[in-house]
Structures are given as structure tokens and as C-alpha cells.
Amino acid sequence: MTLLLSLDANGPRISGEAEEVTRARPVPANDGHGDVRKKIVPIVRPPAGPSQAEWEGGPWLTLQQWIDAPVAGAGLLLQPADDPQSLAGRLDGVGIVGVDFPRIGDGRGYSHAFILRQRLGYQGPLRAIGAVTADQVFALEQVGFDSFALRADQSAEPAIAALSTYSVPYLTAFRDRDAAVFDAKVRLLEKALIAVGQRHDRPALATSLSAEDMVITDVIARLRLPIDVFTLDTGRLHAETLALIEQVEQRYGIAIVRARPDSEAVDAYVAAFGVDGFYDGLEQRKACCGARKVAPLNVALAGRDAWVTGQRRDQAATRVSLMEAEHDAARDMQKYNPLADWSWADVLAYAAWFDFPMSPLYARGYVSIGCEPCTKAIRQGEDPRAGRWWWESQDGKECGLHTNPTTTRQ
Ligand code: SF4
């Protein structure tokens, strides 16, 4: 039987056994941190069929089998392509719902859990099976899973540690927190963004497609606020981020402007330092950020009178003094950071309440969404900024978009 981690009122509980792993566990050459040029991620191929044929109560039924002939107390296993909405009014008597994750990073299982818990009101056992790793249990718990059949090469301790480390903010956000307090926070955010739309002629949100920026995008789109949305398409973004841009446009019916670098500036950088010259030193890295990010940002903001960001104070040591509203003196415009006092738990709570598309990179351990060669997943307990420019010292990790010494409090 698979190693099973379950959550109940008394906390995490282990049952089953780890399967014997005959193959050596793949170890990245850099163990995730060494050679900055080789971020090797072990590839785990998905099985051909469902990841498990049975649970401890008997065989799993497919969605179609359950719809055709439900059996009281049976286990229902959903696959990524299944539509859980088809279970509306049909969940009575189900013994357990399993959600199969045939491969790491497939975000559809998270959506299934959200729909089951939030839309269909399913309160019974909900299990994640398949390519479930210790790193994922925190994110899975956030969307309502209460047991986790861990992948064969996983062990229980890191998963329990992940839950005990992260459960506090999660529980605070979702279970024990006074919903009215969170609701008030959302209303304040809405008010702040409405005011930005009223006060300014051409305000814009600069989005990286991070969860924070998705919160603001969601408010802008829900309330149809006159705030443009643009993103810095540096030419080095993850494929997942590029796909998410299109997904967000379709979901909200909005256009996200791609602010791209000047091709001559990029060519000049590559000629001087090489395409990945940013690994060679701070000067080279800042030159790349300057050409691919800062210059396009300045072009995107030219002629505007305000910009909005999703920065939060607890994201980085460089942001502890972040203000909700400032004057960006270098660009002579207002700058708004309406999530300055939001916690990560607040962001997750908002994501769960409003069900917006999240970057699949989060499920793979990324906590910061940036350019592909300069961003990596972090380990549990690491500083959130450890995943950005990890070969540099911790205290100066900014790309130049938000470092402006003449910015003053408003
Ligand atoms: S984050 Fe990396 S790839 Fe992106 S602009 Fe900066 S140095 Fe270049």
C-alpha cells in the first residue's frame, strides 16, 4: 500500500508503507542549488492509466462509472480531464473522492478540489494520489485535500513538516479566521483600486502573473475598472507564464499588453556578455534586467500618471518599508502597492474565494514568478527571495523595477 498522510482533528496521521524504490532516487547535479547553469529537475513519467487502481475501501470508480451506477461508500477517482461540475447533486453516498495527479505541475487537480469544496459543497474525504510529493502537500491542503497518497519515492517526514510549517497561515486564512475581517480587507482593496481608476487618467497594473498580481487583475476585471494591464515579456519567461497570459485574457475578456524589450538593446547585451551573461556578475545581471525589464517598463509607463504593483512587505528584506501609495519621483507619477500589508495567506485566501487561475509554477515550489533562467523552486523554510538570482547576495535582489531612491511617501 502507498504511504498515506491524512489530516484529521488531531493533526497529521501516517498509514501504509513507503513502497520499495528499486531505482536510485534521481539527484539533481546541483541538488537544486549548485551550478547555476544546470537546474536539473528529475523527470517522472506519468503512468499510462490511473495512478492507483484501489484505495483501502476497494477499487476506485471512474467518473463515468459513478454517474452510471453509484455504489454507496465507493471511492470515486477523478482524472485531470474530468469535469467535476458533472457531479453536482450526485455526491451523496460517495465514500471518498480521489483526484489523480498523473504528473507534477498539472494544475487541474487543484481546480477539481476547489470546485468540489467551494462550488459543490463536498465535505467528505478528499485524497490526492499520483505524483504527489512532500513539497506539494501544503498547496494541496490549501484547496481542500485532507489526505495524500505520496509518490513512491517520498517519505512522510518532510510532508508532515511542510504541513506543520505552513498550516498555521493556511488555517488562519481558511478556517479560524473571522471571515468578516478578510472580507473587509478585500473591500478595502476594491476601494483603493476604484479610487486609482477615478483619480488618474491612464493608470496601469504591471503584472508578472504572480498570485499577487492576479489578485489585483481579478479586482480590475470583476469591477471593470479603467486600469490597463501590461506585462513585461522579457523574452526569457517560462512557457507556463506565457500560457497563463492568454488564459487570463480569455477568462476575464481583457487585453494584457506585452511590453517587449528593444531588439537592438538585447542584441547589444548578447554581443557584450552572452545570452546568459547575467550569471557572471551583478553588473551583467543588472544590465540584462535593464534591457529586458526596466527599459520596457519605462516605455510602458510613458505618458501614464499612475502605476499599480502587487508588491507586499513580507516578500523581501528590501520591501519591509513598502508604502501603499508613493510618488515615483523618477517617473513623476503615483505608484500604488495596494497589497503592501497583505500576507501570503491573504493572497491564498483570495485565490480560493475567487478561483482565479494560478501559475502552475507555484505547485512546483516556486514562490516568485520571474524569468525562467533566474527563478527556481525553493526548499521548505527558505527565504521566498532565495528562488531569485540565487547566486547573488540576499540583500540586493531587485531587478530595478522598484528600486527608486527618490520615491517618497504620499
Ligand atoms: S531576470 Fe534574468 S533573464 Fe530576466 S531580465 Fe533579469 S537577468 Fe535577464
The answer to whether residue 342 scores a pLDDT higher than 70 is: yes
Whether residue 115 sits in one domain with residue 234: no
Q: Are residues 138 and 234 in the same domain?
A: no
pLDDT of residue 321: 86
Catalytic residues: 399
Over range 27-55, report the average pLDDT. Answer: 54
Among the listed ranges 35-44, 97-106, 164-173, 239-248, which one has the minimum average pLDDT value?
35-44
Whether residue 67 is predicted with pLDDT greater than 60 in this model: the reply is yes
CATH number at residue 389: 3.40.50.620
C-alpha cell at 114: 476547489
Q: Which atom of ligand 1 is nearest to the CA of 292?
A: 5
The H or E element containing residue 4 is strand 4-8
Give the chain's count of helices (H) and strands (E).
11, 15
Residue nearest atom 2 in ligand 1 by C-alpha distance? 374
* Domain termination residue (choose one: 120, 152, 176): 176
289 CA → ligand 1 middle, Å: 5
Concatenated DSSP letters of 245-265:
HHHHHHHHT--EEEE---HHH
List, as one string, the DSSP characters of 294-330. IHHHHHHHTT-SEEE----GGG-GGGTT--SEEEETT
| CATH code of the domain containing 147 | 3.20.20
Same domain for 273 and 314, yes or no, is yes
Ligand 1 centre distance from Cα of residue 21 (Å): 39
Do 195 and 170 reside in the same domain of the chain? no
Over residues 220-244, the mean pLDDT reads 96
Pocket test residue of 238, 371, 376, 385 for ligand 1, highest count of atoms within 8 A of CB: 371
Instruction: Report how far ligand 1's centroid is from the alpha carbon of 129 (Å).
Output: 36
Average pLDDT over residues 325-350: 90
- Regarding whether 163 and 121 lie in a shared domain, the answer is yes
Taking residues 9-18, what's their average pLDDT?
70
Average pLDDT over residues 235-251: 95
Tell me what the pLDDT averaged over the chain comes to. Answer: 82
97 and 184: one domain?
A: no
Together in a domain, 124 and 166: yes
Q: What's the pLDDT tens digit per position in 172-187?
A: 444 444 566 777 889 8
Same domain flag for 117 and 238: no
Q: CA nearest 126: which of 138, 139, 135, 113?
A: 113
**Are 233 and 373 part of one and the same domain?**
yes
Three-state secondary structure string covering 71-85: CCCCEEEECCCCCHH
| Ligand 1 site residues, Cβ closer than 6 angstroms | 234, 236, 278, 285, 288-289, 292-293, 370-371, 373-374, 399
Q: Judge if 105 and 123 occupy the same domain.
A: yes
d(CA 20, CA 14): 17
CA of 307 to the centre of ligand 1 (A): 21
- Mean per-residue pLDDT for 89-100? 95
Number of domains in the chain: 2
Name the domain boundary from 142, 176, 210. 176
Of 176, 204, 238, which one is at a domain's C-terminal end? 176
How many whole angstroms from its chain centre is CA 118?
19
- For ligand 1, what atom is nearest to the CA of residue 370? 1
Most confident of 143-152, 159-168, 225-234: 225-234
* Ligand 1 atom having least distance to the Cα of 293: 5
User: Do residue 167 and residue 309 come from a single domain?
Assistant: no
Give CA 215 to chain center in angstroms.
11
- What is the residue range of 40's domain? 4-176
Q: Please choose from 293, 366, 369 the residue to mutate so as to test ligand 1's pocket, defined by most ligand atoms within 8 A of CB.
A: 293
- Distance between CA atoms of 135 and 309, rounded to whole angstroms? 28
* Mean pLDDT in residue range 316-323: 81
Both 84 and 229 in one domain: the answer is: no
Sheet containing 147-149: order of strands: 11-15, 4-8, 147-149, 126-130, 96-101, 75-78, 58-61, 54-55
Q: Does residue 60 have a pLDDT over 90?
A: yes
Ranges 180-184, 323-327, 328-332: which has the least confidence? 180-184
Residue nearest to atom 6 of ligand 1 (CA): 289
Query: Which pLDDT score, from 0 to 100, does residue 17 have?
Result: 63
pLDDT at 285: 94
Atom 4 of ligand 1: nearest residue by CA position: 371
Nearest atom (ligand 1) to Cα of 285: 7
Determine the average pLDDT of the residues in 374-381. 78
Among the ranges given (53-57, 381-385, 401-405), the one the predictor scored with the smallest mean pLDDT: 401-405
Å from CA of 231 to ligand 1 middle: 14
Q: Taking the complete model, does pTM exceed 0.85, yes or no?
A: no
The pLDDT assigned to 29 comes to: 39
Q: How crowded is residue 361: how many other Cβ atoms within 10 Å of its Cβ?
A: 25
